Structure 1
Amino acid sequence: MTTTHLVAAPTDTVGATPVGSLVDNRELLEAAAAGVVARRLAEVAELEVAIEWVVRHGHPLPVEGGRRDPMVSPGGEGTPAVREYALPELAMARGEHTLRTRAMVADVLDLQHRLPLTWAKVRAGACDAWVGRRVAVLTRRLALEHIRVVDRAVAAAITGHAPSTVFEITAAKVMQADPETHAMERERERHRRYVTLSRADENGFRCVIARTTAGDAAWIDAMVDRVADILAAQHGHDHNRDELRSLAFGWLARPADLLKLLLDHTEPTQTSEHPVWAPAHLVQTVDRLASMSTRQLACLRGRGVVFVHLTDTSLLQQAGIARVEAQGPMLVQALSELLGHADVTMKPVLDHRIRRRVDAYEHPESLKDHVWTSTGGDVFPYAPRTATRASVDFDHARPFTPTDTGGPPGQTGPHNSGPLRRRHHRWKTHGGYRVRQAGPGRHLWQTPHGLCYLVDPTGTHRLDHHAADLILNAPPGCDIYVGPSVVLSR
C-alpha cells in the first residue's frame, strides 16, 4: 500500500490553493485509509511496549528487611504476572493514572496469551485496537479451556463487521462456550446493585446512576411520572417533560415534602374500606407522621455531607466561584440549588501562612484541613482529583522518626505531608519511589528508574534530571522553583 504525502501551498500567498485541490479525490481517500492503518499500527506499538515491560518485570526482585515484592495478575487465566510496583512507573511514562495503564496491560496480555487469532488481526492493523481490547474484557472471566472457541469466532468477524456486531458475537460465544459459568455469573450479578453519582458537568448537573431490580425501577419510574404530572399543572408552560421528570426525581429526596405534595393532589376516595393491598401498619404510620415535628420530618431524608470552599468576598457579594469537593467548580449563585434548605456548618478560615507543626506521628484534624486545602487532593503523579478528604492517608514525605529514638521535633506539618490514596501510599513506601516536598503543595517524585515528576497546583509535569537533582538534593528547608524550560513534554 502506498502513502500519499500532501504538501500545502505557501500560506503567505493571497488566494493560495487549498491543500485538497493538490490531489484528486481518489488519492485523498487513499490517504485517509492509509492514515487509519498508520494510527492502528501506532497503537499496536504502544501495546507491544507494554508487553515488553511485563516481560522485563515478570519476576519479583530480591528485597531486604523481610519485605516482599508483590506480583499481580491483571489479565485472565493463563496470562503472566507482573510486579505491582512496576505498573505505576509505566503509567507515569505514559502520562496517565496507573489504573488506566493496568487495564491496558490486562487487555494486551489477554490478547497475546488467550486470544492469539484476534491479536494477529489487531497487530496487522486490520481493526481498531480498542475493539480487540473490548473483546478481551468481555472474555476475561472465561476459563482458558473454553477461550479458543471465542477467539476463532471473533477473529473471523472482527474485520468485516461493525464493533457492536463483534461484541454481540463475543457475548454469544462466551455463553455457548461455558453456559454453567454464565449462569453462575448471572446469579452473582443479582447482588451487584448500587446507586452512585457521576461527576458534575460544567453546568453543575450530575447523573444519578442506579442498578436495581426491574420491579423497583418500574415503581420509581411510576412515582417520578406521578410527581411530574402534579408539577406540570404548576410549571408545565416553562418546562418540557424530561425537565419535569428531573424535578420530580429531586422530590424523592424529601419524603415529608413529597408526602404532602401527593396528599394535596390526591382525591379522597368515597369508601372507608381498607384496601386489600395496603399494609396493616399503614394507619399507624400515617398517625406517626402526623405527630412528628417539622424538624423531625426534615430528618427523614437523612444527612448528606458536602464540602464547599469559597472566599469571604464571594460569600458576601454572592458572586464568584466556589469549589465543591467531588464535584468541581460552581457559581456561588448556584449554591442554593446544591444546599437547598439544609442546615449548613461553617468551618473557620485557614491561614496558610501559619506553618503549624506537631511532634506526634498522627495528624490533628486541623492540620489535615491545612494540608488538604493547600494540595487540593492526592499528590501522586497523574492522580485524578476525585479523592475526598476522608479517603486518603496523610503521609510524611520524609519518613517519620519518633523523637524518643532520635527524631527531630516538629516532623508532622504542612512542610512534610501530602494526601495519598492507600494504594499510592503503599507504592511510595515499598515500591522504590522517592518523593520530596518542595514547597507548599509541591511534591517531586522519582521513579525506580530515575524518571522525575513534579506535582503542583498546575498538575503533573516531567522534569529533566538536572532540575530534578537540584530539588531532590537541596538542603533541608530550601525550596527550589524551576522554569518551564526544564519541563519535558510527554
Structure 2
Amino acid sequence: MSSSAVAGQSPSAAGEPSAEQVLGLAAATLRERRLAEVAEIRLAIEWAVVNGHSRDDRDPMVTPGGDGTPPLREHAVPELAMVRETHPATTRALIADGLDLVHRLPSTWAVVEAGDCEPWVARKVAVLTRSLLSEHVGRVDRAVAKAIRGHAPSTVLEIARAKVIEADPETHRAEQQRSRHQRYVSLSRSDKFGYRHVIARVTAGDAAWVDAMVDRVADILATTMGHDHNHDELRSVAMGWLARPADVLALLLEHTQPDAEPDADAGAVPAWGPSHLADTVDRLASMPASRLASLRGRGRLFVHLTDDALRTGDGVARVEGVGPIDVAQLHEVLGHADVTVLPVLDLRMRRRVDAYEHPEVVKDHVWLQTGGDCFPFTPRSANRDGVDFDHAVPYDDTGPPGQTGPHNSGPLRRRHHRTKTHGGYTTRVVGPGRHLWRTPHGRAFLVDHTGTTRLPAAQAAAMLIAIDDGVELYFTAPVAYGAS
C-alpha cells in the first residue's frame, strides 16, 4: 500500500485521486470560484468609490445601483471594462449589483462574502429589487438572506419576487404600467446556419391572434409544400409570409372556400368588421400588382460576397446584422427584394477630404476596413447605420487639409463615441483597420482584425512615434498577460 494512501481508503490505480478526493476537490473548487467572484465584486465597488467625484462639468455622474447607492463617473466605467476584457455594459452591471448588495442588501451580501451561496443569484436579486426605495428593500433582504444559503436558485428568486410585491405594492403596480411601454420586437444574432429568432413582447391578445394567423398560413402551406415538413417548420415559413401582405392575402383568398349557400345579405358588412372594410377590399382589388408588392415593409441589408461566390454559387456571404451564411441561402434572406449592386472599393486608395463631414464613400471605406465598432472588447455586431464615424485625432478647423479619411476615422456606437470624446480616452489609427487606444490611467489596447490586445506602454509609445513618421509597427512577440 502506498504511504500516501489515506487510512480506510483504497489506493487508486496509477496514483489517480480517489473518489473521496475528487469530491473534496470539487467542494473546495466551488468555494474558490465563489470567493473569486466575490473579489471581482469588491474590486468593482472599490472602483466606484475611487471614481465617486466628478472632475469637471463635462464629467457626468451616474447612479447604476438602486436608491441609496452612491454615484460614480460615467466615463470611468469603460476603463475598468477594458482591464476586465468585457463590454462596458457588463462591467456597469457588475458595479450596480455590487453597490446594491453592499448598500441595500447587506444581510444577503454577508452570505455571499462567506462563499456560502452563488453570487450570481444574489446579483439577480439585486436587479429584481432595484426599483424599490431603500426603506422598502430590507424586507426582501431579510427573506433572501435566510433562503439563499440552502435553497435552489429558482426558489430564492421566487421568494424575492414575492417579497418585492409585498414590500411596495404601489411601486409594483407602477412597474406594471411602465412595462406597457416596454413592448418590443427584436431579432437575435444569426446562428451558424443563418437562422434568427424573432423575439417579441406583445399583449396576450395580440399574441393569440398572431399565433392563430401563423397557424392558419401553416395549414395552407401544408397542402402546397407537401406533408414532408413538420408543423413547427411550416409555422416558421408562415411567419415569413406575414411580412408580405399582398402574397399572404392572395394565399388566404385562394384557399378560403366560399359558403355553400349564398347569404341573402352577402353584401352587408359583418357586425365584427370595421366600417371601412368594404372600402379597403375595393381599394385592394383595384391596385395593380406593383402597388400591392409595395405594401410590404422596406429595409436595407448590406451583403458582402466575392465575384467567385456569385459566379459559382458556392462560398460564404456576409450579411451585416446577420453574419456569415452560405451563398445558397441568399435567396432566403433577400427574397424578392430589389437589389442594388455597389462597386467594389479599392481599400488601397488614400481617400481624404478637407471637410469635417464624412462622405459616404469614406464611410464605406472606413467601415469595410475596420469591420465594426472599434471600441476595445466590444461586439462587432453593430451595423453601418448604427455607428458614428469619429475622427481619432479631433478635427481642427484651422488644421491641415485631408483630416477626414480612413487614416483618421473609426466607427463607434454613440455611447462609445461620447466616452472617447469626454472621458479622457485617446485613440489613433496606426494602420488600416488598426486602432490604438489609451485609457486615462495609461493602459493601452490595440483593436484590429484579431480582436482586442493589451499592449505594454513601451510598444504603444513606439507605435505612436512610428505612425507620426508614416511607419506602421507590427509586433510578433507574445505579450505577457498583465503587462503594462
Q: TM-score range by the shorter chain?
A: over 0.9
Matched, 1:32 2:61: no
Task: Please give the per-residue CA displacement for 1:441-471, whole angstroms capped at 9, x wherever unaligned.
Answer: 0011111111110000111000112211101
Task: Please give the per-residue CA displacement for 1:115-146, whole angstroms capped at 9, x wherever unaligned.
Answer: 00001111111111100000000000001010
Following TM superposition, by how much is the alpha carbon of 1:489 offset from its aligned partner in structure 2, in angstroms? Answer: 6.7
Following TM superposition, by how much is the alpha carbon of 1:248 offset from its aligned partner in structure 2, in angstroms? Answer: 1.1
Q: What does 1:25-424 correspond to in 2, within 5 Å?
A: 25-61=19-55, 63=56, 67-269=57-259, 270-272=261-263, 273=265, 274=268, 275-402=270-397, 405=398, 407-424=399-416
Partner of 2:9: none
Partner of 1:432: 424
Following TM superposition, by how much is the alpha carbon of 1:282 offset from its aligned partner in structure 2, in angstroms? Answer: 2.1
Following TM superposition, by how much is the alpha carbon of 1:5 offset from its aligned partner in structure 2, in angstroms? Answer: 13
Q: Is the 8 A contact 1:464 1:488 kept in 2?
A: no
Matched, 1:481 2:471: no
Question: In structure 2, what is the Cα distance between the partners aligned to 1:201 and 1:104?
Answer: 28
Question: In structure 1, what is the Cα distance between the partners aligned to 2:192 and 2:414?
Answer: 29
Question: In structure 2, what is the Cα distance between the partners aligned to 1:367 and 1:438?
Answer: 17
Cα distance change of structure 1 residues 95 and 237 upon mapping to structure 2, 3 Å threshold: same
Partner of 1:457: 449
Task: Please give the per-residue CA displacement for 1:163-212, whole angstroms capped at 9, x wherever unaligned.
Answer: 11111111100000100111111111122211111111111101111111
Following TM superposition, by how much is the alpha carbon of 1:52 offset from its aligned partner in structure 2, in angstroms? Answer: 1.3
Q: Is the 8 A contact 1:200 1:328 kept in 2?
A: yes
Following TM superposition, by how much is the alpha carbon of 1:230 offset from its aligned partner in structure 2, in angstroms? Answer: 1.2
The structure 1 segments of at least 4 consecutive aligned residues displaced by more than 6 Å after TM superposition are none
Partner of 1:13: none
Unaligned runs of 5+ in 1: 7-15
* Equivalent residue letter for 1:161: H
Task: Please give the per-residue CA displacement for 1:93-120, whole angstroms capped at 9, x wherever unaligned.
Answer: 0001101000110001000100000011
Question: In structure 2, what is the Cα distance between the partners aligned to 1:179 and 1:311?
Answer: 59
What is the alpha-carbon root mean square deviation over aligned residues?
1.9
Paired residues in the alignment total 469
Deviating more after overlay: 149-158 vs 425-434? 425-434
Q: Is the 8 A contact 1:461 1:488 kept in 2?
A: no
Task: Please give the per-residue CA displacement for 1:323-356, whole angstroms capped at 9, x wherever unaligned.
Answer: 1111111111110110011111111211111111
Question: In structure 2, what is the Cα distance between the partners aligned to 1:117 and 1:369?
Answer: 54
* Equivalent residue letter for 2:235: R
Unaligned runs of 5+ in 2: 7-11
Q: % of aligned pairs identical?
A: 63
Following TM superposition, by how much is the alpha carbon of 1:17 offset from its aligned partner in structure 2, in angstroms? Answer: 4.4
Question: In structure 1, what is the Cα distance between the partners aligned to 2:122 and 2:29?
Answer: 19
Task: Please give the per-residue CA displacement for 1:67-111, whole angstroms capped at 9, x wherever unaligned.
Answer: 532111110011111111211110000001101000110001000
Q: Is the 8 A contact 1:463 1:487 kept in 2?
A: no
Secondary structure (helix, strand or coil) at the match of 1:85 reads helix
Task: Please give the per-residue CA displacement for 1:219-257, whole angstroms capped at 9, x wherever unaligned.
Answer: 111111111111122335221111111111111111111
Following TM superposition, by how much is the alpha carbon of 1:281 offset from its aligned partner in structure 2, in angstroms? Answer: 2.3
Question: In structure 1, what is the Cα distance between the partners aligned to 2:358 and 2:220?
Answer: 52
* Equivalent residue letter for 1:116: P
Normalised by the length of structure 1, the TM-score is 0.92
Secondary structure (helix, strand or coil) at the match of 1:186 reads helix
Following TM superposition, by how much is the alpha carbon of 1:487 offset from its aligned partner in structure 2, in angstroms? Answer: 6.2
